[in-house]
Structure 1
Amino acid sequence: MSIAEEPVTLQEPAASGRSLWQDALRRLRRNKAAMTSLVVLCVMALASIVGPAFWPHPYDRVYSEYVRVPASLEAYPKEDRIVPEMERSLKRARVAIGEISLKGDTVHATISDEEEIDPRITRYVDRSDLFSNARLAEKTADGKGAVMVADVARLRFIAGTDGNGRDLFARILMAIRISLAIGLLATFVALVIGVAYGATAGYLGGRADNVMMRVVDILYSLPFIFFVILLVVFFGRNFVLMFIAVGAIEWLDMARIVRGQTLTLKRREFVEAAEALGVSDAGIVRRHIIPNVLGPVAVYMTLLVPKVILLESFLSFLGLGVQAPLTSLGVLISEGAKNMQGASWLLIYPSIALALILFSLNFIGDGLRDALDPKDR
């Protein structure tokens, strides 16, 4: 008699749950505006970091012959400038100038002198930004006549040049790097101070909370511009000062937000359980309070970065920003405003770059707010 085999039933694997952060990330990815803004912001940040190393024009290189030239996809110099510029360069060498002709990207000029021509006169031509590799050819037997040959230096300025003859696109790349760095570093300073201060005040409560928040109120009453001017007077204008000054003020809002969240969290069951188990106050704040306030903090950070960038732009517009030859978007916009009538591109392109950064950060902030909103879960 055979024993009937029992049917084998396959158990379905238990579905793995998602954490709140994984669920928020999934909903953030569905937000097309936020993801597009994130891509735009990453591309601009990467271009500002890597771009200056590969761009043909250094951000601080001055082209004296190309002051305030308009943006153009065609290479400079224009054909009608080459012969007059060669003639002007040779006049400085004090030689007699004959026929000047342009053959492709090479200019030929017949020159003569009462004495033998010094080969070093080529430096007068090389000093010009329009020419390179100047040399003497077809010298006469007595050395008093020759043909000056020079290559035309073709340069492209896709965003034009500023009032000092510097490539505007290279300076915009550097300005994006400086503005984003100041925004992120100042936000990091505000994050560290504000979260620690607000969480501590909210958890301790009572008299300690009252004293700590009165300190915040006193700091709120100090004029921000006056504080920055004092720092500039004592320490001068530099990059580090900017994010320290801005971050040392912006943490006040962060502290208030974190304190409000902490007052709600400290009455939750998991905090009371930690207190019953004998966990220290510092441990509760570090392991239970701060991790649970990072959602609102992350949203506020995306709103704080554009605020800091605007503050830096405002300070640079007043002349209290970064020091030359470094630049920022505020400095470029300030310079563009002064030349708006005769060179509008000096204002348009930096303004577009700043607008793209601000729009991207605000869309990312909106996406994070929607993703972390408990009502949408």
Structure 2
Amino acid sequence: MTDIATLDAIPAPVAGRSFWQDAWRRLRNNRAAVAGLIYLAIVSVACIAGPYFVPHNYTDIYADYVRTPPSFSAYPKADKIEGALKEVTQRMRVEVKDWRQETNRVFFTVTSGNAIDERSSRYIDRSDAFDDAKMESRSDDGKEMQFSAAVKQQYFLFGTDNTGRDLLSRTLVAGRVSLAIGLLAGVVAVVIGVIYGSAAGFFGGKTDEIMMRIVDILYSLPFIFFVIMLVVFFGRNFVLMFLAVGAVMWLDMARIVRGQALSIRRQEYVQAAEALGVSSFGILFRHVVPNLLGPVVIYMTLLVPQVIILESFLSFLGLGVQEPMTSWGVLISVGANNLGTANWLLLFPAFFLVSTLFALNFVGDGLRDALDPKDR
């Protein structure tokens, strides 16, 4: 009976946590990293789904609303309706005699030295401020005519750019491009750099010498020349081009990982694994690579903004994203040239870019702490 009672008193074994379970638990406890993840998720969803809910397409041009300031109320404003009427009547080659507004419709009388053609009402419908034009009455000689038109309500929450395109829709579409470019190039650079650098540092010797001399040769190639060659082979498909750009930007990653792998290969747990007969590739992917994830994640968070800036530089040279497609880098470049007269062209895309970079840095710091086995 005593033996049975003793067995009953033995506590049940505690279930252990894997490396990834422990890392996820520690990441959740990091408030800044969680906030960064939430913000990145919100921005990603907004950039992917937002353009479908914005009333304006990113390519639509509103000639009557060039460089329109951002506003929560609808355009045209009450004090701008008369000016919009004058612009329309100038195209009709008539003069406004009088006008009045009743709810959402405008009634105006026009005169001319010659008979007015009823088909001139098409100029009203082509306007960005009015729609549903109708002829209400006309004089016997046809030189005076009354029209009515509905005031077209337009909302530009972020304002418009130099050609009259909605900045909100363009900022969201630009976010798609910038985030996709950063993610594609970053993932490609990390995967190639980690595998290549960890293998060179772990195996060492002549293998390390040969692999790093290849990296030095690739460093010596002119980057712009390589990008031009990519454009020749892949055309203007920016996805394929930046996949290839990411395949070049792994060089720094390979050097960083190689230095860390040289240090890790001398650790006691690696020597113990070798003594137990674990294969070289098993040690590499089981012990070396997991201990490299901290520096790798930090470098990737720095690589994403570097790729975004690189994209804006290539677009300026005519080798990257071109109109009507856009990106945050392109919008910031345009906004910087109009800072004195239309500062909102720089403010909104810069806010999205800077806040996204801050979120990436917070997430990178959190992942570094969570994936560092020494802090477990």
| Both structures adopt the same fold (TM-score exceeding 0.5) | yes
Contact 1:299 1:365 in 2 (8 A): yes
Corresponding letter in the other structure for 2:253: M
Contact 2:116 2:145 in 1 (8 A): no
State the 1:110 CA deviation.
2.4
- 1:80-91 correspondence runs (5 A): 80-91=79-90
Deviates more, 1:235-244 or 1:203-212: 235-244
Contact 2:234 2:241 in 1 (8 A): no
Q: Does 1:133 align with 2:113?
A: no
Deviates more, 1:180-189 or 1:283-292: 283-292
| In 2, Cα distance between equivalents of 1:156 and 1:286 | 54
Corresponding letter in the other structure for 1:373: D
Corresponding letter in the other structure for 1:310: I
Contact 1:108 1:149 in 2 (8 A): yes
State the 1:248 CA deviation.
2.4
State the 1:249 CA deviation.
2.3
Deviates more, 1:76-85 or 1:104-113: 104-113
Partner of 1:197: 196
Unaligned runs of 5+ in 1: none
- 1:307-326 correspondence runs (5 A): 307-326=306-325
Partner of 2:297: 298
Contact 2:291 2:373 in 1 (8 A): no
| In 1, Cα distance between equivalents of 2:116 and 2:296 | 77
Deviates more, 1:56-65 or 1:316-325: 316-325
Distance 1:27 1:7, change over 3 A: closer
Q: Does 1:174 align with 2:176?
A: no
Corresponding letter in the other structure for 1:154: Q
| In 2, Cα distance between equivalents of 1:57 and 1:249 | 38
Partner of 1:148: 147
Partner of 1:100: 99
Deviates more, 1:297-306 or 1:69-78: 297-306
Corresponding letter in the other structure for 1:246: V
- 1:242-253 correspondence runs (5 A): 242-253=241-252
| In 2, Cα distance between equivalents of 1:27 and 1:96 | 72
| In 2, Cα distance between equivalents of 1:17 and 1:271 | 21
Distance 1:354 1:116, change over 3 A: closer
Corresponding letter in the other structure for 1:272: E
State the 1:242 CA deviation.
4.5
Corresponding letter in the other structure for 1:332: L
| In 1, Cα distance between equivalents of 2:54 and 2:240 | 29
| Percent identity for Structure 1 against Structure 2 | 55
> What is the RMSD of the two structures over their aligned residues, measured on CA atoms?
3.0
Corresponding letter in the other structure for 2:48: I
Partner of 1:53: 52
CA deviations 1:300-351 (Å, max 9, x no partner) are: 3223222222322343355543011110111001111111111111112111
Corresponding letter in the other structure for 2:274: E
| In 2, Cα distance between equivalents of 1:24 and 1:96 | 73
For the residue of structure 1 that corresponds to 2:155, the secondary structure is: coil
For the residue of structure 1 that corresponds to 2:68, the secondary structure is: coil
For the residue of structure 2 that corresponds to 1:13, the secondary structure is: coil
Distance 1:227 1:189, change over 3 A: same
| In 2, Cα distance between equivalents of 1:360 and 1:246 | 24
Partner of 1:367: 366
Partner of 1:358: 357
State the 1:27 CA deviation.
1.7
State the 1:367 CA deviation.
1.3
Corresponding letter in the other structure for 2:245: V
Q: Does 1:260 align with 2:259?
A: yes
Residue-pair matches, total:
370
Deviates more, 1:174-183 or 1:343-352: 343-352
Deviates more, 1:321-330 or 1:217-226: 217-226
State the 1:56 CA deviation.
0.8
| In 2, Cα distance between equivalents of 1:41 and 1:128 | 39
For the residue of structure 1 that corresponds to 2:65, the secondary structure is: coil
For the residue of structure 1 that corresponds to 2:178, the secondary structure is: helix
| In 1, Cα distance between equivalents of 2:104 and 2:11 | 75
Corresponding letter in the other structure for 2:38: V
| In 2, Cα distance between equivalents of 1:38 and 1:254 | 23
Partner of 1:63: 62
For the residue of structure 2 that corresponds to 1:65, the secondary structure is: helix
| In 2, Cα distance between equivalents of 1:168 and 1:21 | 41
Contact 1:109 1:147 in 2 (8 A): yes
Corresponding letter in the other structure for 1:123: R
Contact 1:131 1:150 in 2 (8 A): yes
Partner of 1:38: 37
Deviates more, 1:164-173 or 1:286-295: 286-295
State the 1:195 CA deviation.
2.4
State the 1:167 CA deviation.
0.9
